[in-house]
Chain A
Amino acid sequence: MKKNIDVDYIANLARIKLEKKESSDFSSQLGDIISFVEKLNKVDTKDTPPTTHPLPLMNVFREDKVKESLPAEKALSNAPDKKYSFFKVPKVIEEA
C-alpha cells in the first residue's frame, strides 16, 4: 500500500525550502521508501530483542576530568557573524 507523506510539513520541520514539483516528487518517493520498509512489519519478531544500537558495544565512559577547551576565537572562527566573544544570530525571542 502506498503511503501519502506530507512533505511540506517535514520540509518545514527540517527548514528546507521545496519547489512545488520537488514537493510532489518527494512525497511519492518517500511514500515508496516507507512502503518498502514496512515489509519488515510482516516479519515475526516475537523472540527478537529490540536493537538499540548497531554496535555490540556497551558502557563506554570517560572519567570526570577537565580538558582544555577551544579558545573563543577558534570556537567562533566559523561563525557568520559575531560580537565580542559571542555568536551573533537574528533575534529570536520566546516571549509573551
Chain B
Amino acid sequence: MREERYEAVMGLEVHVQLSTKSKIFCGCSTKFGAEANTKTCPVCLGLPGALPVLNREVLHRAIKVGLALDCRTAKMMKFDRKNYFYPDLPKDFQISQYDLPLAANGRLGILTDGKERTVRIKRVHLEEDAGKLIHMEDEDASLVDFNRTGMPLLEIVSEPDISSPEEAYDYLTQLKTILKYLEVSDCNMEEGSLRCDANISIRPKGQVELGVKTELKNMNTFKGVKNALQYEIKRQGEVLDEGGTIKQETRLWDEAKGRTSPMRTKEEAFDYRYFPEPDLVPFIIDKELVESIRKGLPELPRRRLERFIEDYKLPPAAASLLVNEKEVADYFEDAAGIYKKDAKVVANWITGDIQGELNKRSLSIKELGIKPNDLADMIKMIDEGSITGKIAKGLLADMVETKMNPRKIVESKGLLQIKDKGELDKILYEVIKANPKPVIDYKNGKVNVLTFLVGQVMKATKGKANPKMVNDLLRERMDKL
C-alpha cells in the first residue's frame, strides 16, 4: 500500500483579517461589501508622497494572537517591502514583515482521533492585503477593486508538524476557535477574512530528509483544505511510484474537479527582493504593553473545556461541543448560572434541541433570541411539573418564533400539564371506551398494550399529560374493570 510506504509532511499558512474599524496604514473603512473603489485613499492606492502610519489597534490585536499561540513577542519589529508586479497591488510592493516578524516560536495543541498533538507555530507577522480582481468573461480584461488593499492581515505560519489532512483540518478549526475567542477577527471564510495555503511533501517512511514540497492555494473551506491535501498526497505518491520526481511549484485546488494543477506563472515572480520599508519606523514593543495585553486575554478554549468538565461535571463530549463556539459557551454559563440545580440538563438542551434549531435556521445563538433566562425558566417548568418534556420540545420552537418567555406562552396557549385527576379520568374513560379490543387483550395478560393506550391518552391530551401518571391511572382503572 502506498499509504504505508510514504508519510506526508504539511505546514499551513493562514491569513486572517483583523477586524479593526480602519485599515492597517490609513483611515479607510474596512467594511465589507462597499461599492468598488469607494474605500481608498492616497495611502492605500500608493499615490506618490502618501505615507503609511500603523494602526495601533492592529498591533495590539496581533500581539494578542501571538500570546494566545504561546509565541515569543519580538522586542523590536519592522516592516519590509515585498516587491512584485500584479494588478491587485497598486504600489507594486506589499508592506509585510520579513526578518523581524511580530512574534515567533509558538504552538497550538490539537486533538485528532483522540490523540493530542502539538503543532509548532513558526511565525506570526503583519501585512497589508491586496486588492480584488474580477476577470471579465466577454472581454480580454480584468477589473480591479482596491477596497481590500490595506486591510490588516495577520499571517500565521506553522512548522511542518502536520502529518495528515485530518490534523490540518483540526489545526484550522482550533485556530479559528481561538481567534474567535480573542475577538480579533470574524473569521468569515466566505468574505475572505480567513484564508489558508498549504505546503506539502511526502517521503518514504523512515527517511529523515524532507521531500520536495508543493504549495497549494485556492482552498475556500477547511473541508477544501483537507480534500486538497488528500488529493496531493495521492498524486505525489503516484509520481514517486512511477519513478518521477516532484516539482517544486504552486498548485491551485479546483474544488469542482477535485484536483490540483500547476499554476501558470513565471519563475522570476518569486524573487521578491525584500528590503526595509523606509516609510515606516521600527517598533519597540515594551514589556508593559505585552503584559497588559496578556492580562486581558480571555480564558482560551482549552482551559475552558477543562473547567467545564471540572466545575459543571459535564461529560467531555458535551463540554467540547459547548466550548467550540465562544457565544454558545457563554450562553451555557449564563443559563447554568440561573438554573443551578443541574448544569448537565442545561448542556443537554443546548447541545440537543437548541443546536438543532440553530442548524435548522442557520442562526447564531444570539440571533436565535432565546434568552438564557427563558431556557432556565422552561427547564424549571418541567421540574415543577407544569409542562411535560414533550411539550417543552415544541415550546422551544414557539420561543424562537415569538421571542416570548415560556411561562407566558404556556399560559396563553393552554399547554399546562393536566394534573387534575378528575379531568384526566374523563379522558381515560373515553380512551378505554374507544378501544375495547386492547382493553380485553390487557385483561387477558397482554400487558404491553398498555403502552398503546398511554399513547392514545397522550394524543388526546395533545401531550399535556404526564405519561407516568397516565400509566399508573390506566393500570388502576383497568385492573378494576
Sorted nearest first, the 6 A-B pairs with minimum C-beta distance are: A67-B27, A96-B261, A86-B143, A64-B57, A61-B56, A87-B144
- Whether A9 lies near B268 (C-beta < 8 A) is yes
- Whether A59 lies near B284 (C-beta < 8 A) is yes
Q: From known contacts A52-B78, A75-B40, A86-B144, infer whether A15 and B55 are also in contact, taking CB-CB under 8 Å.
A: no
| Chain B CB within 8 A of A58 CB | yes
Q: Note all chain A residues with C-beta closer than 8 A to B39.
A: 69
Our pick among B29, B100, B139, B252 for the contact of A66 (Cβ within 8 Å) is: B29
Query: How far does the alpha carbon of A95 sit from the alpha carbon of B133 in the complex, in Å?
Result: 13
- Whether A76 lies near B271 (C-beta < 8 A) is no
Query: How far does the alpha carbon of A10 sit from the alpha carbon of B38 in the complex, in Å?
Result: 35
Q: From known contacts A66-B21, A96-B251, infer whether A91 and B38 are also in contact, taking CB-CB under 8 Å.
A: no
Selected A-B contacts with CB under 8 Å, 10 pairs? A54-B278, A58-B284, A61-B53, A69-B38, A72-B37, A86-B144, A87-B143, A87-B145, A89-B141, A91-B142
- Whether B56 lies near A62 (C-beta < 8 A) is yes
- Whether A66 lies near B28 (C-beta < 8 A) is yes
Residue on A with the closest CB to B273? A13
Q: Note all chain A residues with C-beta closer than 8 A to B36.
A: 72, 84-86
B83-99 interface code vs A (CB 8 A; 1 in, 0 out): 10111000000000000
Q: From known contacts A55-B281, A62-B53, A87-B144, infer whether A92 and B37 are also in contact, taking CB-CB under 8 Å.
A: no
| Chain B CB within 8 A of A1 CB | no
Min CB–CB distance B40 → chain A (angstroms)? 5
Query: How far does the alpha carbon of A9 sit from the alpha carbon of B268 in the complex, in Å?
Result: 8
- Whether B283 lies near A59 (C-beta < 8 A) is yes
Query: How far does the alpha carbon of A75 sit from the alpha carbon of B46 in the complex, in Å?
Result: 11
Our pick among B55, B265, B283 for the contact of A58 (Cβ within 8 Å) is: B283
Q: From known contacts A53-B278, A86-B145, A95-B252, infer whether A64 and B58 are also in contact, taking CB-CB under 8 Å.
A: yes
| Chain B CB within 8 A of A43 CB | no
| Chain A CB within 8 A of B308 CB | no
- Whether A60 lies near B53 (C-beta < 8 A) is yes
Our pick among A55, A60, A76, A88 for the contact of B141 (Cβ within 8 Å) is: A88
| Chain A CB within 8 A of B317 CB | no
State the main secondary structure of chain A at its contact with B: loop
Our pick among B37, B41, B54 for the contact of A61 (Cβ within 8 Å) is: B54
Query: How far does the alpha carbon of A67 sit from the alpha carbon of B39 in the complex, in Å?
Result: 10
Residue on A with the closest CB to B61? A64
Query: How far does the alpha carbon of A49 sit from the alpha carbon of B238 in the complex, in Å?
Result: 51
| Chain A CB within 8 A of B136 CB | yes
B: residues with CB less than 8 A from A are 20-22, 26-29, 35-42, 45, 53-59, 76, 78, 83, 85-87, 100, 133-136, 139-146, 251-252, 254, 260-265, 268, 271, 273, 276, 278, 280-284
A: residues with CB less than 8 A from B are 9, 12-13, 15, 52-55, 57-72, 75-76, 81, 83-96
Our pick among B100, B143, B262 for the contact of A88 (Cβ within 8 Å) is: B143
- Whether A96 lies near B136 (C-beta < 8 A) is no
- Whether B22 lies near A64 (C-beta < 8 A) is yes
Our pick among B55, B57, B142, B254 for the contact of A89 (Cβ within 8 Å) is: B142
Min CB–CB distance B55 → chain A (angstroms)? 5
Q: Note all chain A residues with C-beta closer than 8 A to B134.
A: 86
Min CB–CB distance B372 → chain A (angstroms)? 32
Q: Note all chain A residues with C-beta closer than 8 A to B145.
A: 86-87
Q: Besides A59-B283, A70-B40, A91-B139, 6 other CB < 8 A contacts?
A: A13-B268, A13-B273, A64-B56, A67-B27, A88-B143, A96-B261
- Whether A92 lies near B22 (C-beta < 8 A) is no
Min CB–CB distance B152 → chain A (angstroms)? 10
Min CB–CB distance A67 → chain B (angstroms)? 3
Most buried by B among A9, A12, A62, A95: A62
Min CB–CB distance A41 → chain B (angstroms)? 18
- Whether B146 lies near A87 (C-beta < 8 A) is yes
Residue on B with the closest CB to A54? B278
- Whether B22 lies near A67 (C-beta < 8 A) is yes
Min CB–CB distance A76 → chain B (angstroms)? 6
Our pick among B35, B58, B135 for the contact of A72 (Cβ within 8 Å) is: B35
Query: How far does the alpha carbon of A61 sit from the alpha carbon of B42 in the complex, in Å?
Result: 18
Query: How far does the alpha carbon of A85 sit from the alpha carbon of B36 in the complex, in Å?
Result: 6
- Whether B20 lies near A64 (C-beta < 8 A) is yes
Min CB–CB distance A60 → chain B (angstroms)? 5
Residue on A with the closest CB to B140? A91
Query: How far does the alpha carbon of A68 sit from the alpha carbon of B21 in the complex, in Å?
Result: 12
Min CB–CB distance B400 → chain A (angstroms)? 35
Q: From known contacts A66-B27, A85-B38, infer whether A60 and B143 are also in contact, taking CB-CB under 8 Å.
A: no
Query: How far does the alpha carbon of A60 sit from the alpha carbon of B282 in the complex, in Å?
Result: 8
Min CB–CB distance B244 → chain A (angstroms)? 19
- Whether A67 lies near B281 (C-beta < 8 A) is no
- Whether B21 lies near A64 (C-beta < 8 A) is yes
Query: How far does the alpha carbon of A25 sit from the alpha carbon of B161 in the complex, in Å?
Result: 49
- Whether B55 lies near A52 (C-beta < 8 A) is no
Min CB–CB distance A80 → chain B (angstroms)? 12
Most buried by B among A13, A83, A86: A86
Residue on B with the closest CB to A88? B141
Query: How far does the alpha carbon of A88 sit from the alpha carbon of B133 in the complex, in Å?
Result: 10
Query: How far does the alpha carbon of A96 sit from the alpha carbon of B263 in the complex, in Å?
Result: 5
Residue on A with the closest CB to B47? A78
